[in-house]
């Protein structure tokens, strides 16, 4: 076996070479793939025999050889002669690893262009010297600015086809330069090139264009700045999940997510939104790595909390002492639309922002931009491949940022019929219905009802002395679960004894029967899918064991709500202790009837030390850790 597996020592010699994603865009047939093919060939980045192989293929099919065929590796593509998707090409220089994303220019494939452009740090915009500025030259330019790509070099291609004319180059430069200025972009450079002939791609084009003395495409690539540092913005961690894996006795509860912006440090006070709950980051967790005390922007991290508040996927974790995100049920946004069906006023979609997912409605379409002319048009819908501004309301409050404050957490996508149909940027908050809806007062919405199916039926059996806090805790838990959209029901001595258990007296037998029926009803409710919160003193271990056995595999958790008799007597919410001590009530648990302290409780809540909110968080964490709510 030793021979079988070889491990290598954990030694590190990884070069700190930076990565750069470049997207190449432009109108269809303006020669994007040819430029990349030439870039690879002239940098000697092609596998041996690759060019010969493609040339041979062309010869067999009686087609002239084109550099584009190197990239259009798919059969589908070569038969249609256009790039239908974002192919990735890798190449390396001393300085960088380049990932070139070849985005299709055909208007039909705008969603593929967006896919490529969204992850790019810089863009090459290819314009055909012969055809000049076309509709997609403008549309792509506008989308680049919306997607957040600020560095753009304009390649005026096919210069060989216009006799390497300086006049033609200058005309296009003036026209397109003015367009870019109008959308707030200053081009890094305008370069006259010929992908076919190789002028100004890697090698100088001075022979054919002695009038040009600027950079080549390769020079420009090396001169682009790598992506701005998101670590300088306030901390934002959209929570991907709260993990509690119990295998191998692991008892950590870890908040997992990627640091989108900012820096997380151990010891930071952290607030989760939309709930606004606060805790402190206790440790940063890693597997097979040295202990770390901070995590910078971009890192997929995880941290534990010093106080176990309840957090969930969809929350945004931020530092309490930095600018806070907005929390609202409505926004104004700029949207680009890719769906087959237009985006229409009044229609419902799903919005995904960070890790939050919420049902949303288009309240109004404020304006639509004609991408080729940049004029505003008054319409009530945004058609495919158009850009517009609209007001959107959410079925519950979510946390987000305004683009000017934090572009990353201002971005969202819209989903219709299982498909991502558009992207948007929040430009302003716009609360619907006064905006003062707090979590507790919110009506249960349809989205939350859908969420409600994300639960398993379960019985939470709260045991403890009269006055220990069972009813208070169960009431608060029920309220929170309800506001989160989960279906639950509370069973207690009062609501059973008034009806179903009217005939049960307070003899030992009557009390046993009362609890037997309670457990049976709880079992039925759990079977129906409800989270059933039972609050019964249930003083005897045997009674609780019977209840557990009755519910069986459906899921039963015993919660011991603990407080001393002295404390309970001091609280005495119903005045019962007073009566028991005076002797007007006989057989009162804790006074003249014993309470068997549970030894097998799944959770113990000491209400002399834990607040009601703390108790609710403990129970929510328990339900979530055990997959009862998700």
The tokens of 563 are what? 């407080």
Shortest reach from residue 148's CB to other proteins, in Å: 9
Give pairs for 88-92: CB < 8 Å, separation 24+.
89/36, 89/40, 91/39, 91/40, 91/43, 91/45, 92/17, 92/45
Residue listed under structure tokens 């517009």:
388
Closest to other proteins by CB, 355 vs 364, is 355
Closest to other proteins by CB, 48 vs 441, is 48
Strand 300-305, strand 277-284: pairing: antiparallel
Q: Name the catalytic one among 188, 194, 410, 538.
A: 538
Shortest reach from residue 326's CB to other proteins, in Å: 18
Compute and round to an integer the Cα radius of gyration of the chain: 33
How far apart, in whole angstroms, are the C-alpha atoms of residue 327 and residue 602? 35
Closest to other proteins by CB, 59 vs 574, is 59
Phi-psi region of 374 (alpha: psi -120 to 50; beta: other; left: phi over 0): left
Closest to other proteins by CB, 6 vs 502, is 6
Shortest reach from residue 346's CB to other proteins, in Å: 22
Query: How big is the CA angle at 379 (ends 373 and 382), to the nearest 5 degrees?
Result: 75
Shortest reach from residue 418's CB to other proteins, in Å: 4
Contact of 248 with 393, CB cutoff 8 Å: no
Closest to other proteins by CB, 421 vs 569, is 421
Shortest reach from residue 396's CB to other proteins, in Å: 18
DSSP state of 374: -
Query: How big is the CA angle at 202 (ends 201 and 206), to the nearest 5 degrees?
Result: 75
Closest to other proteins by CB, 142 vs 525, is 142
Closest to other proteins by CB, 254 vs 504, is 254
Shortest reach from residue 52's CB to other proteins, in Å: 12
CA distances in angstroms from 472 to 286, 437, 479, 490, 574, listed in the order given: 39, 24, 11, 11, 13
How far apart, in whole angstroms, are the C-alpha atoms of residue 203 and residue 197? 10
Contact of 325 with 399, CB cutoff 8 Å: yes
- Beta-bridge mates of residue 330: 393
Closest to other proteins by CB, 99 vs 428, is 99
Shortest reach from residue 102's CB to other proteins, in Å: 9
DSSP state of 133: S
Residue 538 annotated in active site: yes
CA distances in angstroms from 339 to 277, 377, 381, listed in the order given: 37, 19, 12
How far apart, in whole angstroms, are the C-alpha atoms of residue 179 and residue 182? 5
Shortest reach from residue 258's CB to other proteins, in Å: 5
Closest to other proteins by CB, 409 vs 514, is 409
How far apart, in whole angstroms, are the C-alpha atoms of residue 390 and residue 621? 38
Concatenating the DSSP letter of every residue in 566-630 gives HHHHHH-TTSHHHHHHHTSS-S-BTTTB-----SS-SEEEETTTS-HHHHHHHHHHHHHHTTSB-
How far apart, in whole angstroms, are the C-alpha atoms of residue 520 and residue 351? 42
Shortest reach from residue 414's CB to other proteins, in Å: 10
Backbone angles phi, psi at 616, to 5 degrees: -65, -45
How far apart, in whole angstroms, are the C-alpha atoms of residue 237 and residue 281? 12
Shortest reach from residue 321's CB to other proteins, in Å: 25
Closest to other proteins by CB, 296 vs 520, is 296
How far apart, in whole angstroms, are the C-alpha atoms of residue 610 and residue 605? 7
Contact of 231 with 304, CB cutoff 8 Å: no
Is the backbone peptide bond immediately before 274 cis, with ω within 30 degrees of 0? yes
Closest to other proteins by CB, 413 vs 604, is 413
Closest to other proteins by CB, 152 vs 254, is 254
Strand 488-492, strand 277-284: pairing: unpaired
How far apart, in whole angstroms, are the C-alpha atoms of residue 116 and residue 332? 26
How far apart, in whole angstroms, are the C-alpha atoms of residue 438 and residue 396? 10
Rounded to a whole number, what is the distance in angstroms from the first to the last CA of the chain?
42
Tell me the torsion sign for CA atoms 274, 278, 280, 285.
Answer: negative
Shortest reach from residue 535's CB to other proteins, in Å: 32
Shortest reach from residue 2's CB to other proteins, in Å: 10
Helix residue spans in 183-263 (DSSP H): 217-223
Active site residues: 538
């Amino acid at each position: 076996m030793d021979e079988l597996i070889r491990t290598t020592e954990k030694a590190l010699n990884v070069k700190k070479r930076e990565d750069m994603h470049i997207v190449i865009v432009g109108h269809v047939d303006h020669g994007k793939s040819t430029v990349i093919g030439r870039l690879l060939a002239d940098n000697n980045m092609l596998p041996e025999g690759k060019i010969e192989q493609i040339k041979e293929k062309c010869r067999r099919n009686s087609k002239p050889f084109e550099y584009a065929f190197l990239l259009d590796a798919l059969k589908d593509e070569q038969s249609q002669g256009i790039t239908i998707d974002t192919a990735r090409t890798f190449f390396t220089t001393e300085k960088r690893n380049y990932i070139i994303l070849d985005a299709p220019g055909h208007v039909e494939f705008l969603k593929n262009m967006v896919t490529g452009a969204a992850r790019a740090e810089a863009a090459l915009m290819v314009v055909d010297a012969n055809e000049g500025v076309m509709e997609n030259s403008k549309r792509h330019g506008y989308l680049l600015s919306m997607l957040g790509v600020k560095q753009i070099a304009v390649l005026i291609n096919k210069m060989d086809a216009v006799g390497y004319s300086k006049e033609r180059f200058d005309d296009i430069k003036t026209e397109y330069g003015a367009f870019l200025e109008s959308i707030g972009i200053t081009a890094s450079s305008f370069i006259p090139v010929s992908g076919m002939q190789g002028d100004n791609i890697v090698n100088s084009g001075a022979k054919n264009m002695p009038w040009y003395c600027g950079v080549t495409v390769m020079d420009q690539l090396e001169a682009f700045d790598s992506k701005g540092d998101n670590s300088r913005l306030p901390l934002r961690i959209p929570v991907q999940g709260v993990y509690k894996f119990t295998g191998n006795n692991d008892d950590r509860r870890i908040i997992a997510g990627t640091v989108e912006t900012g820096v997380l440090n151990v010891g930071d006070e952290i607030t989760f939104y939309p709930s606004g709950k606060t805790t402190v980051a206790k440790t940063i967790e890693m597997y097979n790595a040295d202990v770390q005390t901070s995590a910078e922007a971009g890192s997929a991290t995880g941290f534990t909390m010093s106080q176990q508040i309840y957090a969930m996927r969809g929350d945004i974790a931020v530092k309490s002492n930095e600018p806070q995100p907005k929390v609202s049920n409505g926004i104004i946004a700029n949207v680009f639309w890719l769906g087959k069906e237009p985006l229409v006023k009044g229609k419902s979609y799903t919005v995904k922002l960070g890790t939050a997912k919420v049902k949303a409605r288009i309240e109004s379409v404020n304006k639509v931009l004609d991408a080729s002319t940049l004029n505003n048009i008054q319409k009530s819908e945004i058609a495919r491949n158009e850009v517009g501004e609209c007001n959107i309301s959410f079925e519950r409050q979510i946390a987000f940022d305004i683009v000017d404050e934090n572009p990353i957490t201002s971005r969202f996508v819209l989903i219709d019929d299982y498909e991502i149909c558009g992207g948007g940027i929040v430009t302003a908050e716009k609360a619907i219905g006064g905006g003062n809806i707090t979590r507790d007062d919110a009506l249960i919405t349809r989205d939350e009802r859908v969420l409600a199916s994300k639960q398993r039926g379960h019985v939470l059996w709260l045991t403890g002395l009269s006055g220990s806090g069972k009813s208070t805790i169960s009431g608060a838990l029920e309220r929170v679960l309800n506001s989160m959209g989960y279906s639950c029901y509370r069973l207690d001595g009062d609501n059973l004894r008034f009806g179903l258990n009217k005939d049960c007296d307070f003899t030992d037998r009557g009390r046993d029967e009362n609890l037997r029926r309670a457990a049976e009803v709880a079992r039925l409710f759990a079977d129906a899918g409800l989270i059933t919160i039972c609050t019964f003193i249930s003083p005897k271990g045997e009674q609780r064991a019977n209840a557990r056995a009755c519910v069986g595999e459906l899921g039963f958790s015993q919660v011991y709500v603990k407080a001393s008799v002295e404390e309970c007597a001091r609280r005495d919410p119903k005045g019962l202790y007073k009566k028991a001590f005076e002797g007007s009530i006989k057989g009162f648990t804790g006074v003249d009837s014993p309470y068997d302290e549970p030894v097998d409780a799944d959770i113990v809540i000491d209400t002399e030390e834990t607040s009601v909110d703390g108790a609710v968080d403990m129970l929510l964490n328990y339900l979530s850790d055990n997959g009862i709510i998700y």
